[in-house]
């Protein structure tokens, strides 16, 4: 990656020749950059810089929010649009558990790369919430394909499950945000 420099104001790290007059992240003058030595090996840095887990977690969160909004809108939609919303709910519900599972797997991979184990206190919490999200996402898919979304109590259960899914995704994001810059050296 060449000689690295780090912004003293915001912590942004980049190659020495990549900045012009200001920090691309926070906008302070380039004189705020200082030489930086990455404590992570080049191989581990390459794997971490793929950002597979942070990218993957956006899918379940977006699907969960869209499912919630679609189910909520179905109360006010006329017949044909309501049927289209129910169809969209089925289409989005089917891959949701798979995306959650991929998020868990990429999270385990990321945790192993960052900390050489996945049993740290925050990672344990993320695993528990991730498994809960997986169970909820399977229940969401099951209800979506049960054919009962038009029935009053079933739709409310579905909406409740999507709210729980969004809450789990938010909790995972908050926990993960605390870990983004943490990693063992070497």
Q: Which residue has the higher pLDDT, 184 or 40?
A: 40
pTM of the model: 0.84
User: What range defines the domain where residue 111 resides?
Assistant: 45-177
**Residue range 149-159, pLDDT digits in tens:** 988 899 999 99
Q: Are residues 70 and 136 in the same domain?
A: yes
15-27 mean pLDDT: 87
Question: Is a pLDDT exceeding 90 seen at residue 20?
Answer: no
**Residue range 24-54, pLDDT digits in tens:** 889 999 899 999 998 888 888 888 889 899 8
Residue 184 lies in a domain: no
Q: Are residues 90 and 142 in the same domain?
A: yes
Hey, CA dihedral for 135, 145, 101, 52, is it positive or negative? negative
- At 125 the pLDDT is 95
Q: Are residues 31 and 65 in the same domain?
A: no
Residue 111 lies in a domain: yes
CATH code of the domain in which 141 resides: 1.20.120
Residue 186 lies in a domain: no
Q: Are residues 75 and 93 in the same domain?
A: yes
Q: Residue 92: CB partners within 8 Å, gap ≥ 6?
A: 63, 66, 67, 70
Question: Is a pLDDT exceeding 60 seen at residue 1?
Answer: no
């Amino acid at each position: 990656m060449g000689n690295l420099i780090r912004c003293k104001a915001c912590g942004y790290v980049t190659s020495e020749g990549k900045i012009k007059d200001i920090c691309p992240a926070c906008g302070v003058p380039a004189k705020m950059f200082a030489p930086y030595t990455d404590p992570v090996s080049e191989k581990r840095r390459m794997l971490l810089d793929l950002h597979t887990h942070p990218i993957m977690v956006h899918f379940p969160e977006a699907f969960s929010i869209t499912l919630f909004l679609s189910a909520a809108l179905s109360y006010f939609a006329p017949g044909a649009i309501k049927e289209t919303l129910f169809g969209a709910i089925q289409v989005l519900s089917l891959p949701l558990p798979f995306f959650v599972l991929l998020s868990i797997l990429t999270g385990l991979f990321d945790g192993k790369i960052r900390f050489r184990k996945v049993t740290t206190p925050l990672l344990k919490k993320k695993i528990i919430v991730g498994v809960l999200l997986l169970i909820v996402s399977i229940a969401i898919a099951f209800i979506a394909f049960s054919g009962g979304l038009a029935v009053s109590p079933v739709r409310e259960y579905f909406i409740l499950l999507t709210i729980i899914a969004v809450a789990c995704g938010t909790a995972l994001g908050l926990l993960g945000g605390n870990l983004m810059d943490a990693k063992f050296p070497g």
